[in-house]
Amino acid sequence: MFAELNLEDNLKIDSLCDAFESEWTPESSLIFKPYLDRCAPHLHRGAVQELIKVDLELRFSNGLEIAPELYQNQLPEFSDVIQEVVESSKVELNTLLFPQQTSEKDQHIHKAKPNTSKETPEEHFGRFKLLEELGHGAFGTVYRAYDPTLDRVVALKLPRLEKRDTESINRFLSEAQIAAQLHHPNIVAVWERGEIKEQYYISSAYVKGETLEDCLKTHPPALKQKVIWIRDLALALHYAHEQNIIHRDIKPANIQVNENHDPMIMDFGLAKRTNLAVDQTTDGQVMGTPAYMSPEQARGIVAEIGPETDQYSLGAVFYQLLVGEPRLKGTAYEIIKTLQNYPAPPTIHLIKQKIPADLIPADLIAICQKMLQPISSDRYESCLAASDDLTRWLDGRSVSVRKISQAERVFNWARRNKVVSSLLGLVLAILSTSLIMISLALFEASDAREEAENNLTIARTQEAIAVNEKKKAEISEVAQRIEASQSKLLLAGYEIQAGRFYEALSYLSALPKPDRNWVWKLQSSRIPKEICRIANFKKYNFVSPRVVLSPDGKLVSISLSLPADKTYHHPRMVTSIFDAQTGKFQHEIQNNDYHIATAMTDGFTTDSRYLIIAFQKKFPMRSESTLGIFDIQQKKIVKYFGPVRNAHLSPFNANEIVLQRNSKEDSKKVEYLTWNFLTDKETHFGIGPYVSLNRFSVNSDQTEIAFRSPEKVDVKLLKEGKSPLAGIFQRLNANHHNLSKDQKQIVGRLQESWYWKSKRKTVVPGKSVIVELPSKLVTVLENDPAVASLFDFSFNFSFSDDNKYTMLKASKSTSLAYERKQFCWWNRQSGEYVGKAIGQGVSRDGKRYASIENRSVVIRETPKHLRRFQSEAIESTLARWHPLHPAPRTEARPIVFYWNEQPWVFISHRHGNDVVDRKRNIVTRKRAFPLPYFRISKVAVHHKSGNIAYYRSKDKVEVLSLKTGKIVARLPCGKFPSSAFLAFHPDGTKLIGGDAEGLIIWSITEQKILEKISHTKCLMGMRGKMQFNSSGNFLSVYSTGYQSVILEKDTWVDQAKKISKVLFKITLSPDGSLLANADINGQITIFDFRSGKVLHQIETDAQYATPQFHPIEPLLIVGRNDGRLLMYSTKNWRLVFDEALPVGRVEEIKFSESGDAFAVSVETNTTRRWFEFSSKR
């Protein structure tokens, strides 16, 4: 409350506010003096402030007027406090759960009344569909919501947080981060945290049931059930403690009892990581719920709070379960004062005064007393030890914290060994009775033997039930673990697409080793290779680092702050230079006359010889700096220049800096000039308007300067004349920064329509394009879903030094503060999107970028192989045919296939040559069809022999050897051949094809038709498909207008009739046990191929889908007509992979023989594009 008041005073004020709130009515509002009379005069000012806050909130919730005059009339001596509290509280009370900029629809959602069970149809928060409000309070609102990404119902927590309340924000984010690391059947799972439109959220498992607090009120459980609950909770807390996490707020309201009557711990809002040096809680700060907190919590001593704290709170819950009421009662102040005096645990006498003696066993009282010891070292050594004692009691054994008599030991033994004790009793009875009557003893012995056998049978039955239940629990635990791992795989994929590779690594590294399957290897391989990791920053404050890579990527500068020490009595910021390939430290740059020395954004010169440093006298950082030129070879500052306001290196002249400094003539304007730091030559461009960094630039001849704003680009010349670049600058909203290194091309965002003559189409405004100077449109950059929102930052476009890539640095900030930027790469030739990464710096050659990962600076390779081919030959060949922007009549559609674990490209076009390039893996064929629409659309491959087959003409099929590059056979066709239907027989000696009359089977060695099968028609064109499953037992054929079939090898009998009369696009699993069929509406049905039973259905929400089983792994890959590529586990049919490809029809999925890699084609009406995914990089 108040820094000048001690803890005891604050607690007194808090108790006073509790009394005021409990006695408040609309009529008693504004009456404060009776409450002020209850406290000392030096507390009045603080009490007034807190009482008014409580009254304001109550008046607001009851619709009463809020105004400073209402309180000033009652308390005129505190008018300054009243004015401040009322004005600040008005803002808080009128601030809803969402920020003010949220839409009216979102505001409507969050104004819903709490505790309502009415569903709100079709209300959304981001991707979540809100189904029901579960709770509403001061913290915010919790909804039952549907997450389409994870295909499950979740609990969605939306907190009410002020932007300036960084502590609450950090605690909320910390809650999600901590809870997400815990995977235990008695802990509510947290799936993810995030932020949508400045609203934070946590998505966790939805547990149907009620809290333990409500359960105790409505239907208290039996004693044994209570003990089982406390034991399970103790095991859950022990698991959390092993993960270095303390809950710090265990109480009945934070324990959910699910439908299976299992307790689950939730709400880690006050949790603490014990293995971190930094804690958000400070000494003297009391956190938790008083009735359940430990003495060390009540005293606010952070160093004493550990796993024993949670044990004490669980003991308080145990006490309430045994007795029926909390151990401590009263106001928060009274309870905390009691706990601060280390109260002794409740005695057996006191407990049995509340509950009859026979209802609570002495062992349980002893366990509860042990957990409630005031000194933490006197409690159980861990929650596991407490759970062991509870288990011993449940098993009928003695507990460790209570000594028992010999008679009790015998009684407990007899209770545990009922069969044996019964037999002993019977034997004694028989012996005693036999002395009286032997004949009766024989009958009684027979009865006893029969009873013993019955007891043994019952014991065995119970043992079998217990073993079965244990197996079920183990299976359930494995299923939950796999489900959690699959969710992490899916989330890792989304992070990879977004360029957040450190976050993706966190998800992937969290997977247990048994769950690290092929999809895990695939996603891991897509993370760019780590070149170097720099982590030795112990003496620095690792806050707001600035990272700059040299153009060639060999050096990296890191600017960090240093705390004050004995030598320097003030904080400093220094810049260190490291080898970017080995991480070896080279030099530290600082100047005793300046407290701040930080590298400029583009600090290294193009030859990497010099680093430009911005010096400032002291903190806080100001707008003007003095530039220092650091010579890396001489390891010293060789020149200074200043003061300057903004500066950047010339993109054309290595030793020139373009400067901006405050004008002495006009305070509202700035002066522009260039400075050659080797010759000290200055070229002045006069004064002009202030624009931020990268919005002003100078040409290589230093004859003109360009100023860019969102609306226009102004070019100012030193001499009279006209700038040759002014027109294109205006047309693209670009300047000299957007020119290529050779100044022949420029990249920018169109401000008006542009007719693309070579493609015969008009490019609309808003598209980002590359233009060959003076005015030839070369390509349009792909607007991939991953980067669609980043084109607003088109002023940060540039070319890589080798001109292979166009790059974008998406960041509006020009400050020196740490900021994660988004870097994107496109193929300069084709305009295709290559990849994206989030980091701090990128080298100008486009090959490396730097990011901050776990207090380390990590240098990684460019993410250019996320879904592109590793082979440069394949990439350049595919780019040559302009797959993104094909010519009006594209004469070639490349076909990709795999042989010998390598991708190959097959191209047939009018000007092609009959060449097999075995070094570059490219096959070209001259088109022999007379009409352009007769093109080779499919190629069949036989991996073992290395032969491929394709329709060369209307009457010939060619078989070509990739090993020799020669034609193996030319086979005669039937009538109306369809180039879509070709497949090699598994033995490689025969080829199967299809036409309008049926199937044709050729002998490759004899080069003749062996057989025709008329019951299978093939009329599908390019979209048809014929394929053997991996084992080679069945041939699947699908064709529009006809029933798709599955033919048994050699007999060619259709085995699909027993499954369905209507099959469209089909695929068979490698072992032939599963059949997947995609109907004309995009719904995929999975059948048991042997019985025809429907096992599962997948709604793809697409009009067209292509299913394909992985040849090795238990996966079903599904391509949609909107460019989405999905993978489902065939074990539980959960989604494990979701990749957003460019919009188009995913038509072909081609695997390598090992299944480690596969290529995907995306088809449109004008083009075919290929993408590769490989688990080996």
How far apart CA 271 and CA 275 sit, in angstroms, is 12
Q: What are the pLDDT digits (tens) for 980-1020?
A: 678 898 888 999 887 777 788 899 999 998 888 877 767 65
Residues 6+ apart with CB under 8 A from 101: 197, 198
| Structure confidence at residue 509 (pLDDT) | 93
- Mean pLDDT score, 854-865: 90
Band of pLDDT at residue 91, cut at 50, 70 and 90:
very low
| Structure confidence at residue 610 (pLDDT) | 95
Band of pLDDT at residue 569, cut at 50, 70 and 90:
low
Taking a C-beta distance cutoff of 8 angstroms, is the pair 921, 901 a contact? no
Q: Which has more pLDDT, 1093 or 407?
A: 1093
How far apart CA 91 and CA 172 sit, in angstroms, is 22
How far apart CA 1118 and CA 1124 sit, in angstroms, is 8
Band of pLDDT at residue 503, cut at 50, 70 and 90:
very high
Indicate the class that CATH gives domain 530-861. mainly beta
Q: What are the pLDDT digits (tens) for 402-446?
A: 876 554 554 554 555 555 555 665 656 666 666 666 666 666 777
How far apart CA 426 and CA 574 sit, in angstroms, is 89
How far apart CA 966 and CA 916 sit, in angstroms, is 8
Say whether 195 sits in a helix, a strand or coil. strand
Q: Which has more pLDDT, 995 or 589?
A: 589
Alpha carbons within 13 angstroms on the beta-carbon side of residue 412 total 15
Band of pLDDT at residue 97, cut at 50, 70 and 90:
very low
Residues 6+ apart with CB under 8 A from 701: none
Is residue 251 scored above 80 in pLDDT?
A: yes
- Mean pLDDT score, 86-93: 56
Percent of the chain with pLDDT over 90: 36
How far apart CA 961 and CA 959 sit, in angstroms, is 7
How far apart CA 753 and CA 765 sit, in angstroms, is 5
| Structure confidence at residue 96 (pLDDT) | 33
Query: Do the first three CATH levels of 208-403 and 530-861 match, i.e. the same topology?
Result: no
Q: What are the pLDDT digits (tens) for 651-686?
A: 888 899 999 999 888 888 899 999 999 999 999 998
**Highest mean pLDDT of the ranges 20-34, 434-448, 960-974:** 960-974
Percent of the chain with pLDDT over 70: 85
- Mean pLDDT score, 1145-1174: 89
CA neighbor of 151 nearest in space, from 1168, 1128, 1162 = 1128
Q: What are the pLDDT digits (tens) for 163-182?
A: 666 767 777 777 777 888 88
Q: Which residue matches tokens 């710090």?
A: 248
Q: Which has more pLDDT, 586 or 78?
A: 586
- Mean pLDDT score, 1144-1171: 89
| Structure confidence at residue 620 (pLDDT) | 73
Q: Which fold has domain 208-403?
A: Transferase(Phosphotransferase); domain 1 (1.10.510)
Band of pLDDT at residue 277, cut at 50, 70 and 90:
very low
Beta bridge partners of 575: 559, 589
Which of 372-386, 925-939, 947-961, 1119-1133 is predicted least confidently?
925-939
Taking every pair of C-alpha atoms in the chain, what is the biggest distance, in angstroms?
138
Residue ranges per structural domain of the chain: 7-94, 111-206, 208-403, 530-861
Q: Which has more pLDDT, 932 or 301?
A: 301
Which own/partner contact pairs does 755-761 have at CB distance under 8 Å and 24+ positions apart?
Answer: 756/780, 756/885, 758/887, 759/885, 759/886, 759/887, 759/888, 760/888
Give catalytic residues, as residue numbers.
249
| Structure confidence at residue 1096 (pLDDT) | 93
Band of pLDDT at residue 121, cut at 50, 70 and 90:
very low
Taking a C-beta distance cutoff of 8 angstroms, is the pair 858, 508 a contact? no
| Structure confidence at residue 89 (pLDDT) | 59
Is residue 32 scored above 80 in pLDDT?
A: yes
| Structure confidence at residue 795 (pLDDT) | 62
Is residue 3 scored above 80 in pLDDT?
A: no
- Mean pLDDT score, 1099-1116: 88
Mean pLDDT score of the chain: 83
Residue numbering of the annotated binding site for ATP: 157
| Structure confidence at residue 860 (pLDDT) | 94
Is residue 334 scored above 70 in pLDDT?
A: yes
Which of 61-75, 568-582, 1030-1044, 1126-1140 is predicted least confidently?
1030-1044
| Structure confidence at residue 590 (pLDDT) | 86
Q: What are the pLDDT digits (tens) for 577-587?
A: 999 999 999 99
- Mean pLDDT score, 610-616: 94
Q: What are the pLDDT digits (tens) for 102-120?
A: 333 333 333 333 333 334 4
The pTM (predicted TM-score) of the whole model is 0.62
Residues 6+ apart with CB under 8 A from 618: 570, 595, 596
Indicate the class that CATH gives domain 111-206. alpha beta
| Structure confidence at residue 187 (pLDDT) | 93
| Structure confidence at residue 791 (pLDDT) | 60
Q: What are the pLDDT digits (tens) for 1117-1147?
A: 999 888 889 999 999 999 999 998 888 888 8
